[in-house]
Amino acid sequence: MKALVRLYGTLPEHYPDNYPDGGLEVEIWENISVAELVELVQVAREHVAIVSINGMLSKADDVIPDGAQVKFFQSITGG
C-alpha cells in the first residue's frame, strides 16, 4: 500500500531529507491513521496542524486509504 504525501508551507524545510517537489511516495499499512503517517514521515508533529486526505480535511485518527494523496499543512494565523 502506498500514499503520496505532500508538504506545504515551509514544511519541506522540516523534512529530515531532501524533499522532492512532487511529494513523497510512502509505503503504508492497512488502517494507518493520520497521526501515524505524520510520525512515519518524520516531520515533528508540532509542525503539522492540518491534514487533508484526497482533498478532504481529516482528523488525527482518520484512516489513510491505499493510493491516497495526503497534504500536510502548518499552523496558520490570519486576518
Partner 1 sequence: MKFLRVNMTTQTVQWEDVPKKYSTLGGRALTSIVVNSEVPATTDPLGNENKLIFAPGYFTGTTLVNTGRLSVGAKSPLTGGIKESNVGGTVGFSLAKLGIKAIIVEGKAADESSFVLNIEDEEVATLVRSDELKGMRTYAVAEKLHAKFGESKSVTCIGPAGDFQLLSASIQSTDLDGRPCRAAGRGGLGAVMGSKGLKAIVVDRTGRVSEEMANLERFKQASKAYAKDVKADEFSGEILPELGTAVLVEPINAAGAFPTNNARMGQFKGVEKLNGETMAKLIKERGGKTKHKGCSQCIIDCSNEFVTEKGEYVTSSLEYETIWSMGGMIGNDNLDAIARLDFLCDDIGLDTMNTGVAIAVAFDAGYGEFGDAEVAIRLVEEVAAGTKMGMLIGNGPDAVGIHFNHDRVPTVKGQSIAAYDPRAIQGMAVTYATTPMGADHTAGWVVDQNLEAFGGTVEPHGPKGQVEISRNTQIHMAAVDTVGICDFAQSGLATDEGIGNVFTMMSAKSGLSFGEKNWAELGKTVIKVELEFNRKAGLTNKDDRLPLMFYNEPLPPYNVVVKVSDKDMDSTFDY
Q: Which residues in this chain contact partner 1 in the complex, by CB under 8 A?
A: 8-10, 13, 34-35, 47, 49-52, 55-60, 71, 73-79
The nearer residue to partner 1, 40 or 52, going by C-beta atoms, is 52
The nearer residue to partner 1, 2 or 45, going by C-beta atoms, is 45
Whole-angstrom distance, CA of residue 48 vs CA of residue 75: 7
Pairing label, strands 68-73, 50-53 = antiparallel
Report the SS3 class of residue 61: coil
Closest distance to partner 1 from the beta carbon of 26 (Å): 18
The nearer residue to partner 1, 28 or 47, going by C-beta atoms, is 47
Alpha helices in the chain (DSSP H): 11-14, 34-41
